[in-house]
Every structure is written in C-alpha cells, then in structure tokens.
Amino acid sequence: MLLLLKLALVPASILLATLAARRFGHAISGLLAGFPIIGGPIIAALMFDLSPAQVADIAQATLAACPAAVAHIVTFAWLSRRLPWWGCLLGAALAFFAVGSITTAHWMPSMLPLALAVAGPWIAQAAMPRVTASIGAVHVPRGEIAMRVGAAFTLAAAIVVSAEHVPPAVSGLMLALPISGSLLPSFTLTIHGHPATVTLLRGFAIGLVGFVMFFVALVVLLRAWDAHLPAFIVATATAIASGWLVHRLRSSGGLFRR
C-alpha cells in the first residue's frame, strides 16, 4: 500500500511543481517541491497502522536525512555552473550519501542531526552560488511535462525496488533521496541554464523550511500528546505557516537578497 502511495505521489508532486513553474516561475516550483508533499501523505498513511511513538521515530529518522538533502541541492547548484545535468546529478548524489551516512550513523548523538536539519535550509540559502534570479512564468511544453512525470515514476520505482537489495543503512538513505530535487533541476539546467537552476534550488531550500518544521512539530507533538490527528493537523499548519513566512521575507528583500 505504501509502495503504491509513494509511486503515485512522486510523479504527482513533480506535476504540481511543473505546473507551478508554468504559472509562477522557478522559485515557486522549487518551494512546492521542497514541501512535505510526498512525506506528509505517507506519514498520514502510516498513522493508520503504527502507534504515535513509532510514527515519531520514523519522523525523527527522516529529519536525520535532511542535512544530506541540503548537501544534495547545494552541490547540484554549484556543479551546474560547469557540468551537464548528469554530472551535477552524480555529484549531488555522492554528496547526499556522504553526508547522510554520517548523520544517520548509530553513533551520532540524536540531537545533532535534528539541529543540523533545522539549520540546513538557512545554510543552503547562504551557500548557494550568486546569480540573478529568474523571475516570471516558465514555458514548459506538454511533452516535457509528460517526460518529467514519467521520469519521476521510473526513478521512484527504481529506488524503491533497489532499496530492498542493499543494507538497511543504504536503503534508508535511498528512500530519503530528494527525487523532486533531482529531476526538476536536471530538466531546468538542460533547458533554462544555470541561473534558473539556482533559482529553483533556492526555492527548494525555502520549501525545506516547511518540510523540516513539519517533521520537527510531528516528533514533538506525537511524543507529548500521543495522538495522531491533532499532531498531524498542527504539524501541517506549522509547515505551511513557516514556509509562507520565509517566502514572504525573501520576496520582500529581507532575507538572503541576492
């Protein structure tokens, strides 16, 4: 059930982010891609079968992989200055697994990955290359939309199937690999170039604020309330409010203006 849910949600999130790019531009597309559009519904599905404590453990494990996602998007942004999409994707994946293998290690103090996850989106914003932001709607042909959705489904299926045949530590990281943060910048770099790619990934970093705050709130509330529904509702509201606030601050020039 969860496998089918993830395989459906991944291309759906790519489609949503792509349609957002057509209407609002690369920054909003990246912001939506960084939000817990996939993780949120999967957590909701898990709540039907698992106890609040078990869901909290899964949410905390997800947070431990967030610093690796930050390493992924920052690496892709810098490599996009010189390399084609496949070189950027390879380098970003190597950075993801290198950082993730550290933050998810059993010897890592549990609070350190949590602190890194909270700081991660801000670190990503500060570490991105300086470019002139790409503003305005983006022309994405229907054929390319179909290619994006098909590639998302194929990559998600390959990751899920491969995760069953590798050690658990590697499997967990594979399932946490940011698929939207891999496919969208790859298409964007190929068609629109480096500045548009960095604009997209900056938006993704803003979306990660909402992602991180969703899981932080979920961990805290599930352990405090021991109740699924109230924790999920408050965590979702926290994600939306924090993501919107950071986006507004950045749009007004008060946050990481470049």
Q: What is the pLDDT of residues 159-174, one digit of tens each?
A: 666 756 666 556 667 7
> Bigger pLDDT: 5 or 95?
95
In a domain, 82, yes or no: yes
Q: Whole-number mean pLDDT of the chain?
A: 82
In whole angstroms, give the CA distance from residue 252 to residue 237.
Answer: 22
In a domain, 168, yes or no: yes
pLDDT of residue 89: 95
In a domain, 202, yes or no: yes
pTM for this predicted structure: 0.82
In a domain, 257, yes or no: no
H, E, C per residue of 58-102: HHHHHHHHHHHHHHHHHHHHHHCCCCCHHHHHHHHHHHHHHHHHH
In eight-state DSSP terms, residue 138 is: -
Q: Total domain count for the chain? A: 1
pLDDT confidence bin for 158, thresholds 50/70/90: confident
pLDDT confidence bin for 179, thresholds 50/70/90: confident
The per-residue pLDDT for range 33-61, each reduced to its tens digit, is 667 777 787 788 778 778 888 888 888 88
Q: How far is CA 99 from the centre of its chain?
A: 15
> Bigger pLDDT: 16 or 26?
16
- Mean pLDDT is lowest, of 65-69, 92-96, 166-170, for 166-170
Q: What percent of the chain has pLDDT over 70?
A: 81
In whole angstroms, give the CA distance from residue 166 to residue 152.
Answer: 21
**Which segment, 14-23, 42-51, 70-79, 179-188, is predicted with the most confidence on average?**
70-79
- Report whether 212 contacts 39 (CB < 8 A): no
pLDDT confidence bin for 189, thresholds 50/70/90: very high
pLDDT at residue 110 is higher than 90: no
In a domain, 226, yes or no: yes
In a domain, 137, yes or no: no
pLDDT of residue 78: 97
Name the residue range of residue 65's domain.
Answer: 2-132+142-251
